[in-house]
Amino acid sequence: MEKVKTGIDNINEYIGIFKDKRIGLITNNTGYNSEFKSTIDILRKSTNLTTLYSPEHGIRGDIQAGKEVESYIDLKTGIKVYSLYGKNKRPSKEILKNVDVLTFDIQDVGARFYTYLYTMSYAMESCEEFNKEFVVFDRPNPINGNDVEGNILNKNYSSFVGRYPIPQRYGLTIGETAKLFNEEFLIGCKLKVIPMKNWRREMYYEATGLSFIMPSPNMPTVDTAVVYPGTCIFEGTNISEGRGTTRPFEIIGTPWLDGFKIANIMNELKLDGVKFRPIFFTPTFSKYAGKLCEGVQIHVTDRKTYKPVKTALFLYKIIKQESKNKFQFITFEGKKLVYGIDLLAGDSILRKNEIDVNKIYKQWQEEVVKFKKLKKRYHLY
């Protein structure tokens, strides 16, 4: 089986796009080709790269989740790096003044919550407004390009962790997602996607032959990405989602839970493709840093049948019940009180109701059927 070639691997076949143009690049530590040459260095050598732009976590992946990124000079290249995470998420006319073509090369993880998607969408809007071209170097969806799961985001809960009405797991590559955003949400920029070679929709990342580079500090493995579309909802609660451990999003718990009881309850549900094991852990940072926690570890035994969103809904319900009055939702103060779980779930249903998981999930899967038909229009592979 031939190794997958990502968009940046194929740049020479599309080099005419960049001829006599000033190039900007949005990237991070995942911006490498299959031979471990950085996209920054490739564009510096083959084009007139004038400007760099940083998403969440910084251009070199050195900044933790949620920390604002400031503009700075990249020490390796001497090129100005403008932040697109913090006060200014949308590129202004001023910071695009030395750019004719804005390019994007970042590995995403196939989940609606990932902010890189919306950094891309804001950049596309600016390119439309200021008459710039936008080029996406395509990359694999690490959790395959077929499976879709979860609810369609309610527009009333649009945010930087869910800007558009797409499901938690949407089954598109980053380039295909750009095409969908551009057409369905009426961005209308001059978009070009440089496609991959040898990628097939059923592939998980391990099948590509490429080395997995951590897209963000708390996304260390493909296993993390597989569970993430479900367990990310715990970020909106006072339950630890495993940040500060070596298995974030696979480990869920608190100082007060009985992990043995929760593991037994979850295993008795006999959910497809997954087993639960009681676990003790002490996060090094984030929730309960330095405190002994008890909970469960999610062990995916069959990716083909495992449903991350369905699994997380049941786990959420059981943990909330077992936590009783210790369970809390995390809120953000601004112009109005915002509940984090509403933004992550794309709706208030998980916060406001004692949920009937089977009923909610059936409703959500009906929404998935419609999205599956829609997304096929944008398939490149």
CA distance 329 to 156: 19
Query: For the chain (length 381 residues), average pLDDT per consecutive 10?
Result: 95 98 97 97 98 84 60 87 88 97 98 96 98 98 98 96 98 98 98 98 98 94 98 98 98 98 98 98 98 98 98 98 96 83 95 89 94 98 98
Q: Check if the beta carbon of residue 127 is closer than 8 Å to that of residue 172.
A: no
User: Using CA atoms, how far apart are residues 114 and 201, in angstroms rounded to an integer?
Assistant: 20
**Has this prediction a pTM greater than 0.85?**
yes
Angle between helices 357-375 and 308-323 (to 10 degrees): 150
Distance CA(133)–CA(254), nearest Å, equals 48
Question: How does pLDDT run across 54-81, given as a tens digit for each residue?
Answer: 988 777 665 555 566 668 888 889 999 9
Query: pLDDT averaged over the chain?
Result: 95
